[in-house]
Amino acid sequence: MAKSFKPKVIRQPSHIFIVEDHPVFREGLRQVVNREADLKVCGEAGDYEDALHGIVRLRPDLALVDISLPGKSGLDLIRKLRSESSEVKLLIVSMHDEALYADRVLRAGGDGYIMKQEDPEEIVHAIRDVLGGHIYVSEEVMESRTNGHAAKSGAPDKEKLLDHLTDTELEILELLGRGKSQQQVSKQLRLGARAVAGHRTRIRKKLKLKNDEALARYAAGWVGGDR
């Protein structure tokens, strides 16, 4: 009797879209992804508009998104895609401290958060985890979210005030807390000096701080763990 053979099923690799404004790091991510047999980069963008158009047109399985982009941020991109009912998985890959941003990313509709400093193998693990339908964050952040939701009504007033900051204002607050000057903040976020100064004033008012010195102390304490 002739033996019957089942045809071998060849699985197509998951398509990954990269949103990153720094060409060197974008190239690094492309190499990390493309060396995996089950993953393939299908497109790239360096800003919000190109990313939005590319993701809508190419419909990737997952997008790797940086928070800091020229113009609108990665968080703006997440909210826009979710408002349009896009089913693409969204994993933030950022230089910003996970403890400061992960919760805001997840609330915006992101599926995970990993820092750029992580090993390439861990970034690949995070991609596969999110593609598998899981939320990827560190255990510390997940525990903090669980405890935070359980005691939401007892949250400190200053934490509630932070929720009023825009994404850009939160980025500026973090950079100030890390000792960056206004000129350095302007250069890193690609904002004009007047725009940064305006953001500082609004941050100070929202946090109910009297002057720039009080803002500097608050920012340093917040980034340093006194939050």
Kindly report, residue by residue over 44-83, the tens digit of the pLDDT: 999 999 999 999 999 999 999 998 888 788 999 999 999 9
| The 39-45 sheet, strands edge to edge | 39-45, 14-19, 62-65, 89-94, 112-115
Tokens representing 126 are 């995070």
Q: Report the SS3 class of residue 90.
A: strand
Reported as a pLDDT band with limits 50, 70 and 90, residue 18 is: very high
Specify the pLDDT at position 114: 94
pTM of the predicted structure, to 2 decimals: 0.78
Find out whether 59 and 88 touch, Cβ atoms under 8 Å: yes
Res. 150: pLDDT tops 50: no
Res. 149: pLDDT tops 60: no
Using one digit for the tens of pLDDT, what is the confidence trace for 117-130? Answer: 899 999 999 999 99
Specify the pLDDT at position 163: 81
Helical (H) or strand (E) element with 15: strand 14-19
Find out whether 90 and 109 touch, Cβ atoms under 8 Å: yes
How confident is the model over 156-175, as a mean pLDDT? 80
Specify the pLDDT at position 147: 61
Res. 202: pLDDT tops 70: yes
DSSP string, 106-141: HHHT--EEEETTS-HHHHHHHHHHHHTT--B--HHH
How confident is the model over 160-164, as a mean pLDDT? 80
Angle between helices 212-224 and 193-206 (to 10 degrees): 80
Specify the pLDDT at position 103: 86
DSSP 8-state secondary structure symbol assigned to residue 97:
-
CB atoms within 10 A of CB 209: 17
